[in-house]
Amino acid sequence: MSDHSAGKTWSRSRRLDPADFIKTNMRLAPVPSVPEVQLYQAHPGSGLRRLLEPDDDSDGIEAEPQPPYWAYAWAGGAVLARYILDRPSIVAGKRVLDLGAGSGLVGIAAAKAGARMVISAEIDRNGVVALRLNAEANGVAIQIREEDVTAGPPPAADLVLAGDVFYAQDVGQRMAPFLDRCLAAGIDVLVGDPGRAWLPRSRLCLLGEYHVPDVGGNGGSEPRPSAVFAFVPIKGG
């Protein structure tokens, strides 16, 4: 069946194996500003749309699929990865959750910096395949949770790393209460972000700043300021 006879260009994706697709159509290369980590990254010829699957909404109607966030290193993840690799004692010997892992960049950096255990949580099934391939390519072991962990209890972790998870209002509204529950459970939380619209600024304490390219945010290859923050309890709360 051709793309056109299927009616929608992305219907063909049901026959594609995501691991084969990623290895064939994406480029394994060091991340700009985090060259210690290699990722399968999209390029203009990747044709990623072929891999995307429609989501079924609550009425069973096919909706446009989620963009392939996992195919890029986002500025929030890049700044967090850079920060950790420059200060490995932050993660060394700890159990770390990489929340909204995408490509796996932050969790891979944590593993390289000496984390005892890394759990990467990602809801996109192609993203899960990509982060597994990326972990293998970097020679690190990562546990993957393919689910919305924000709906559940705090993880069995010492530290949560949240790279670029405030890019949309609905996502941010799920993340902040979950991060609050993590704090209440005694888990430290670090956020990496280039200043997205839904960043909960009043809850953040600046720890460091770097200039990194914002490839995922369509900011191009030009480095721009991005920051690492501690997520802190509500004042007086």
Ligand X SMILES: C[S@@+](CC[C@H](N)C(=O)[O-])C[C@H]1O[C@@H](n2cnc3c(N)ncnc32)[C@H](O)[C@@H]1O
224 touches ligand X (CB under 6 A): no
From candidates 52, 71, 165, 189, binder to ligand X by CB under 6 A: 165
Please say whether the dihedral angle defined by the alpha carbons of residues 44, 218, 145 and 159, taken in this order, is positive or negative.
positive
What's the burial of 87, exposed, middle or buried (CB within 10 Å: 0-12/13-18/19+)?
Answer: middle
Amino acid at 118: V
φ and ψ of 214, to 5 deg: -110, 70
Restricted to residues 61-120, the positions that interact with ligand X (CB under 6 A) are: 69-70, 73-74, 76-77, 100-103, 105-106
| Cβ-closest position to ligand X | 77
Provide the edge-to-edge strand list for the sheet that holds 159-163: 143-145, 117-121, 95-99, 159-163, 188-193, 223-231, 204-213
Q: Which two tokens mark 37?
A: 């980590």
Q: Which two tokens mark 16?
A: 């594609």
- Residue 167's alpha-carbon distances to 27, 133, 191, in angstroms, are 25, 25, 12
Closest approach of ligand X to the CB of residue 227, in Å = 13
From candidates 155, 163, 194, 213, binder to ligand X by CB under 6 A: 163
From candidates 171, 172, 208, 230, binder to ligand X by CB under 6 A: 171
From candidates 53, 122, 180, 214, binder to ligand X by CB under 6 A: 122
Restricted to residues 39-58, the positions that interact with ligand X (CB under 6 A) are: none
Restricted to residues 192-221, the positions that interact with ligand X (CB under 6 A) are: 216
- Residue number with CB closer to ligand X (3 or 123): 123
Closest approach of ligand X to the CB of residue 3, in Å = 25
Q: Which two tokens mark 97?
A: 């959750």
Closest approach of ligand X to the CB of residue 110, in Å = 12
Binding residues for ligand X (CB under 6 A) = 69-70, 73-74, 76-77, 100-103, 105-106, 121-124, 127, 148-150, 163-165, 167, 171, 174, 216
